[in-house]
Structure 1
Amino acid sequence: MAKLELIATAAFGLEAVVAHELKQLGYNNTKVENGRVTFVANEQAICHTNLWLRSAERVLLKVGEFKATTFEELFQQTKALPWTELLPVDANFPVEGKSIKSKLFSVSDCQAIVKKAIVEKMKEVYGLEWFTETGPKFTVEVALLKDVVTLTIDTSGAGLHKRGYRKLTGKAPIKETLAAAMVMLSYWNADRILLDPLCGTGTIPIEAALIGQNIAPGLTRNFAAEEWPWIPKKIWQEQRRAAHKEARYDLPLKIIGSDIDKEALSMARYHAGEAGVDEFVSFQPMDVANLSTKKKYGCIICNPPYGERLKERPEVELLYQQMGKAFLPLDTWSYYIITSNTDFEKHFGKKADKKRKVYNGRIRCDYYQYFGPRPPKRNESPEQDK
């Protein structure tokens, strides 16, 4: 098949992380915009990126883009696109939609018109008056932004954050994609110890383990495009085999998660087992106020409570003070904390070296980054962890 235009969607603030991932995967011709990174590749890239992208939300196939201010324009320009090159005669193609700052603001009407336009195109090409839609799923999205229509087909199915290991739900879990981005934005690597002293159900430590051992995050799940007839099954099989070969399953890691919630820790251990990294991640009950370690040059990465509700703020602010007292004496460590609390630095007791605006779902947060000294090379210092 000819070159395809693909879109890796991203949470706001993580577009550059997704673009960097794509570059690492070999896709250099990228265009970064709010909430998405566009790149050009072939059908193999649909398999490759779905399997490997850690911080992206979905991979979409872009069918077309045009300006439309009337329903007639929307209908005619949608119909003109090459739908039958992508949708088989039995395709199940629901249409989803969204509209922002556009004259065509009725999402339901836009969805209906796009659906009708695709059906009319299929009638002309396939010579049928009715379609069963009993075949593979091709979820179409019509997205309008300032009167520009973008039509895409979702290749992922369930969002890419659904790795398959997190089957139990704890209190305020962080998305796997955001957790992975937090690790990738840190200076942690597999040679260093990583600690999440507020680990909850274990998402940050587990994502770190997958990164450390170079395990493709989508390796054990399925994707919508696996059922598409124009992507040979052989490509998916080859991509999965290649991913298995690239994984470093036996690479030793030093990753620890701790929390005061024993039920959450039980879930964390279960999730680590489901992810296949339980041998390399340990979980232990501990109050963050009691944190102490003789280890050197480690990284703390955590997602503490934010205190979004007014009545929770005094307790959360006290927690931040306890974190500061526990973290700051670790003068060879780096620490990375995400929170929506704008007074975090004041309560923590130190201004961050760097902070980055990100979104945890719909919550606007800052990712506070405190950089410790660079670890010495192993042959230079006996203090570095063995």
Structure 2
Amino acid sequence: MGNYQIIATAAMGLEALVAKEVRSLGYECEVENGKVIYSGDESAIARSNLWLRTADRIKIKVGEFKAYTFDELFEKTKALPWEKFLPEDAEFPVIGKSVKSKLFSVSDCQAIVKKAVVERMKKYYKRNSWFEENGAFYRIEIALLKDVATITIDASGQGLHKRGYRIDQGEAPLKETLAAALVMLTNWKADSPFIDPFCGSGTIPIEAAMIGQNIAPGFNREFVSEGWNWISSKVWDDARMEAEDLAKYDQPIDITGTDIDHRMVKIAQENAIEAGFADILQFKQMQVRDISTSKEYGVIVGNPPYGERLGEKKAVEQMYKEMGQAFGKLETWSIYILTSNEEFEQFYGKPATKKRKLFNGFIRTDLYQYWGKKPPRQNEMMK
């Protein structure tokens, strides 16, 4: 088994959650803006891809160095042990980005990194000709930040939010990674009721069900690194076997998704079937003002319309008021609402217990948290 520098990339504001997940897999890590860095073997690469719910991608760090000139970028890239990662027939496109660096031409940086890798590979594999690149896929990235070059290989392929269950979606779907984060930021446990009053295509309820039954989010998909010759199929088989063993398929869960649009309810049901939760999740067409329940100590997580489109603002503000009136009756429930509307508390009619800044794509939002009363036993324990 080798030892690799692994990077789990994260959306802004989710780094701490990703780090918590990495540590729960048994790996010590460091947190930086947009990424969590840790060391591990081939098994760590497979397990990270399978288990991390809130990370965007898993990357292998090949090298990091300062580069102020193209010559420096070429020579330092060429000095890296590319033969350790790339077989002779590897397909290895290079992508790049540059922020606040002297080497600001991304296309030039990509071309130079590509040339340097080829030169290193030619020497190692004793070739004079170009490489056919008809084998396994290794996407290399050159990322420059303040003249520091970080070179990585993407070990995920499609982003980790692509769980494989979303057959259809609405106009502004919530990324699966953010949906999982919203659930994980609550106090919800699998034995408590859960409601998403704006379920859309069902992403939050499905992610909650996967969390409640401890199902690895990457269990039903493939990853590009499964085709790499230095990660054996046994590593992947063992990682999937572990995921199968840890899943709690018999854990009963009480999760309901509602939406005003009957078409979205149908899409949510279809996605739930694809995810394997056909008989577990309930979806209903309902307006938020009509939500009521006699159940106690549950959690509501919602991503309502933000009212950013022209003409929607007034209707959305009215809906926030109705939400506050409906949810205000649920004293033992904890409510978590994600919106970019900075006046949300005013319309909802109550200041939040806590707010947390998050990004839904490029939209800056707040997660407004209203904590409900604790069960009597918890109150006694806290005295």
Comparing 13-22 with 348-357, greater Cα deviation is found at 348-357
Structure 2 counterpart of 1:40: 39
Structure 1 segment 244-263 matched on structure 2, within 5 A = 244-263=244-263
Deviations 1:116-135 (A, max 9, x none): 11001001101112111111
Shift in Å at residue 377 of structure 1?
4.8
Gaps of 5+ in 2: none
User: Helix, strand or coil for the counterpart of 2:311?
Assistant: helix
User: Helix, strand or coil for the counterpart of 1:350?
Assistant: coil
Contact 2:6 2:61 in 1 (8 A): yes
Deviations 1:38-72 (A, max 9, x none): 00111110100100000000000000111111111
Structure 2 counterpart of 1:20: 20
User: Helix, strand or coil for the counterpart of 1:272?
Assistant: helix
User: Helix, strand or coil for the counterpart of 2:207?
Assistant: helix
Structure 2 counterpart of 1:103: 102
Structure 2 counterpart of 1:289: 289
Distance 1:202 1:377 in 2: 33
Tell me the TM-score normalized by structure 2: 0.97
Structure 1 counterpart of 2:324: 324
Distance 2:172 2:144 in 1: 31
Deviations 1:109-166 (A, max 9, x none): 1111110110010011011121111111000011111111100000000000000000
Deviations 1:53-96 (A, max 9, x none): 00000000000111111111111111110111100000010111
Deviations 1:231-285 (A, max 9, x none): 0001101111111111011111000000111110101001111111122110011
Shift in Å at residue 170 of structure 1?
1.1
Shift in Å at residue 169 of structure 1?
1.9
Contact 2:143 2:149 in 1 (8 A): yes
Distance 2:294 2:79 in 1: 66
Counterpart residue identity of residue 136, structure 1: A
The list of structure 1 runs, each at least 4 consecutive aligned residues, that deviate by more than 3 angstroms after superposition, is none
Contact 2:169 2:200 in 1 (8 A): no
Structure 2 counterpart of 1:383: none
Contact 1:210 1:277 in 2 (8 A): no
RMSD of the TM alignment (CA)? Answer: 1.2
User: Helix, strand or coil for the counterpart of 1:311?
Assistant: coil
Contact 1:306 1:341 in 2 (8 A): yes
Contact 1:206 1:277 in 2 (8 A): yes
Distance 1:343 1:92 in 2: 51
Distance 1:134 1:352 in 2: 56
Whether 1:140 aligns to 2:140 is yes
Tell me the matched-pair count.
Answer: 378
Distance 2:121 2:376 in 1: 64
Structure 2 counterpart of 1:363: 363
Distance 2:229 2:270 in 1: 36
Distance 1:9 1:105 in 2: 22
Contact 2:15 2:31 in 1 (8 A): yes
Contact 1:200 1:259 in 2 (8 A): yes
Distance 1:13 1:205 in 2: 22
Structure 2 counterpart of 1:384: none
